[in-house]
Amino acid sequence: IGGKLANPEQLDIVARQSYLPDDEQCSTRVLDFAPGHTKYVVAEVANSKKTKSNIANDINEAVNVHNADVVLIQVGYEKFNLNLLRAVSKAMQKGKIVIAATPELPETARELPFPAKHGDVICVGSHSPKEEASTFNTRGRELDFLALGEGVNECSGTSVAAMVAAATVGFTLLYAESIGGEEMRRDIQCNTVMRELLRGACSRRGRHTPDQGYGILNPRKLFRRGPDHFKHLVREIVQVNNK
């Protein structure tokens, strides 16, 4: 997926380099967000034909080789896998933000697949341009929110919604650094804090349902009241998280 994504529109996502031969479906790509002078890297894990063990290896590679700020997982599996859980957990322990799409699987009867079902990841469903939940969404108590996932560069799916969420995370990290330096960026560069920030920018804040999470993600809620308000939000979340 290349070109501009909505919310926020200032960010471009481009595939910098592919790590598989051209005749193979790509399993890991490194995507650059590079507005201004700050580099923000997303490693995209997206090949549904890969086994769970290979996906776990791809996550480890994203963290240890490519030093990704965000690991974006666009695949899902019916059954729990320990190696996949370990890879996700290690990524988060190293301060990486892990975002998981919620693809529909025939075997799961529209329930969330793994690793989206792991409670600590940022779990993203899709909504339409009319802000209605997409019909292809899966559901579960681990769902955090819905992001735009239909009609983005003529693509649709929960993987698209997860990409839009990754763009929002990128903008949030860069904004934090621009107003609070590297210290503020470090404060929010973890799944727990970032997830709470994003949940606070949703339409149903404080009310969760298995089919919509906390509702429609609207990133402008984080930024529209200016730097001081954003800093206040971060301080509140970090203080609670450190207790």
Identify the CA nearest to 55 among candidates 14, 80, 97, 83: 83
Predicted local confidence at residue 137, as pLDDT:
92
Give residue-wise pLDDT tens across range 31-52.
Answer: 544 444 345 566 666 655 556 6
| pLDDT for the residue 7 | 34
d(CA 113, CA 143): 11
Residue 141 CA to chain centroid, in angstroms?
Answer: 17
Write out the H or E segment, with its range, that includes residue 33: strand 28-33
Least confident of 32-41, 62-71, 183-192, 198-207: 32-41
Please count the CA atoms within 13 angstroms of the CA of 127 that sit on its side-chain side: 23
Q: Which residue has the higher pLDDT, 110 or 138?
A: 138
Taking all residues of the chain, what is their mean pLDDT, rounded to a whole number? 79
- Say which amino acid occupies 109: A
Nearest to 60 by CA among 75, 76, 45: 45
130, two tokens: 């009319």
pLDDT value, residue 240? 75
Residues 125-136 pLDDT 10s: 999 999 999 999
More confident position, 10 or 232: 232
